[in-house]
Amino acid sequence: MAKLGFRTINEMVGHAEKLRVREDLRTNKTSNIDLSLILTPAHQLRPGVATFNVRKQDHRLYVRLDNKLISEAELTLDKGLPSRIECDIVNTDRAMGTSLSYQISKRYGEEGLPMDTVHVNIKGSAGQSFGAFLAPGVTLELEGDANDYVGKGLSGGRLIIYPPRAAVFKAEENVIVGNVCLYGATSGTVFFRGVAAERFAVRNSGATAVVEGVGDHGCEYMTGGRVLILGSTGRNFAAGMSGGIAYILDIQQDFMSKLNPEMVEASGIDDPAEIAFVRGLIEDHHHYTGSELAARILLDFNRALPRFVKVLPVDYKRVLEEEAARAAEAKRAEYQLPLLPGNPVRELHEKSKQKKSDLQDIEETIGDAAVEKKKSLVLDKTKGFMKYQRRSEKYRSAKTRTRDWAELSKRLDEDELKYQAARCMDCGVPFCQSDSGCPISNIIPKWNELVFQVCPMPPFFCMVLREPSS
């Protein structure tokens, strides 16, 4: 407010009341325009109404459906383990998956998690911005339909939407997602069994999408990614499209009348790699959504192939051709003599050249056997009880023991003791009170954890790893 030259709210409101139309700037076109209703301050129409922020807005984040996802994906967020979640959704549940994606990005950064680490099976009608900004590793599979802005800002996740399994209508003839889907998406994949409404994939810059039809202004201002449309489109397709590629199955052969050719050109698909890519997307679409349309296309793909139209921006095509030419020239400029087969020394030398060396000094080339052994012994404390078998002390025969003063049994060595200590399940109980005792006969698991970390030779009562007595 101070930057605008106002000292108080009242002064700013008072200045707003003085807004008026400059009569000296009127023209013949604007002479009859009356802006008095727009310029009238709100408090004059409704005395006492707030004209600035007087109370904090309640976004009701505590009742969001994402709270359930975050709670049930606790192991995924903490340890990266896979999660499978089921839930229902209604159209007031908006931006589902966004808060979960925030938690994943907060812990694992931009790369997120491996694909399908979190898979959510959902039923119902989703509200706006379903799967917005979805992070890598999250799959939202919706049996139902969704409102506008599905996949807005998609950032590596995967969205699968198909009609209810009991539906009897033709999915390819009915709208399943709303307007402006994939607005500003940067990466990820989507499979929609049905038609999308207007402005599908507007400003998409990297996501890959399969849909069975779109409304007007499809792929508007698109800058990257791939879009496969297995059906008809609306008018003004590819307006302002400067990047990415769109593939349209022009069954009715009327697509060219709906294309905006200002920045793009249309052609068939001739490159074998591109044909394989399109077919692979259709196979994935059928796999994830059970699309009947995709199954019919795959049944006779060779006959359907001539009906596909490739929409490619002219400038984008030129850039791709220049990059391909530079890559081909670089490949031609390379000249390496072929290696003679069966020369292991030469092969090892070539492999060593391919690896990036991290050595700083020549002293680092000399390894320390003890240090390397210590590094290699990284035990799994989480699942040690299942991974490592119980090892018991070997009792020496009486005939042998009567001839010396050695111990009654042959003790485990240091590494074996560490493996046995790793079997502790970290139950958190300071002493075991169960009927059977501790699974590894340790009566103080917490003490055993300390021993495992710092003590090379555990005390006697932590080394006695026998079966508990009945």
Domain residue extents for the chain: 2-45, 67-320, 379-463
Q: What percent of the chain has pLDDT over 70?
A: 72
Q: pLDDT by residue (tens digit) across 375-420?
A: 555 666 566 666 666 666 677 777 777 777 777 677 677 777 776 6
- Phi and psi at 33, nearest 5°, equal -80, 130
C-alpha span between 233 and 196 (Å, rounded): 9
* Torsion (CA) 413, 418, 419, 423 in degrees, nearest 10: 140
Q: What percent of the chain has pLDDT over 90?
A: 56
Residue 434's region, left for phi above 0, alpha for psi from -120 to 50, else beta, is: beta
Task: Assess whether pLDDT exceeds 90 at residue 94.
Answer: yes
Apex CA 206: angle with CA 205 and CA 211, to 5°? 100
Task: Assess whether pLDDT exceeds 70 at residue 115.
Answer: yes
- Looking at per-residue pLDDT, the higher value among 72 and 50 belongs to 72
- Looking at per-residue pLDDT, the higher value among 401 and 24 belongs to 24
Mean pLDDT of the chain: 82
DSSP sequence for 377-409: ----SSSHHHHSPP--PEEPPHHHHTTS---SE
Q: What is the number of other CB atoms lying within 10 angstroms of the CB of residue 158?
A: 24
Closest CA to 266 of 258, 256, 274: 256
Which two structure tokens, joined as six digits, stand for 405? 């003063």
Task: Assess whether pLDDT exceeds 80 at residue 212.
Answer: yes
pLDDT at position 16 is 52
pLDDT at position 35 is 84
Q: What is the number of other CB atoms lying within 10 angstroms of the CB of residue 458?
A: 20
> Is 149 in contact with 169 (CB distance < 8 Å)?
no
> Is 424 in contact with 389 (CB distance < 8 Å)?
no
pLDDT at position 104 is 96
DSSP sequence for 133-181: TPPTTEEEEEEEEE-SSTTTT-EEEEEEEE--TT--S-GGGSEEE-SST
> Is 441 in contact with 421 (CB distance < 8 Å)?
no
CA distances from 94 to 60, 129, 338, 381 (A): 12, 6, 60, 40
**H and E: helices and strands count for the chain:** 17, 14
The single-letter code of the amino acid at 317 is K
Residue found by looking up tokens 């000094």 in the block: 361
Range list of β-strands (E), 49-148: 83-89, 118-126, 138-146
Task: Assess whether pLDDT exceeds 70 at residue 360.
Answer: no
Which two structure tokens, joined as six digits, stand for 179? 């307007």
Q: How many CA atoms lie within 13 A of 378 on its CB side?
A: 4
C-alpha span between 379 and 383 (Å, rounded): 9
**Rounded mean pLDDT, 155-167:** 96
pLDDT at position 463 is 43
pLDDT at position 354 is 62
Q: pLDDT by residue (tens digit) across 436-450?
A: 445 555 545 555 556
pLDDT at position 15 is 55
Q: What is the pTM for the complete model shown? A: 0.65
pLDDT at position 359 is 44
* Torsion (CA) 359, 364, 369, 372 in degrees, nearest 10: -40
The single-letter code of the amino acid at 387 is K
Q: pLDDT by residue (tens digit) across 214-257?
A: 999 999 999 999 999 999 999 999 999 999 999 999 999 999 99
pLDDT at position 466 is 41
C-alpha span between 458 and 452 (Å, rounded): 8
67-320 domain in CATH 3.40.309.10?
A: no
Q: Residue 219 in 3-state DSSP?
A: coil
pLDDT at position 22 is 83
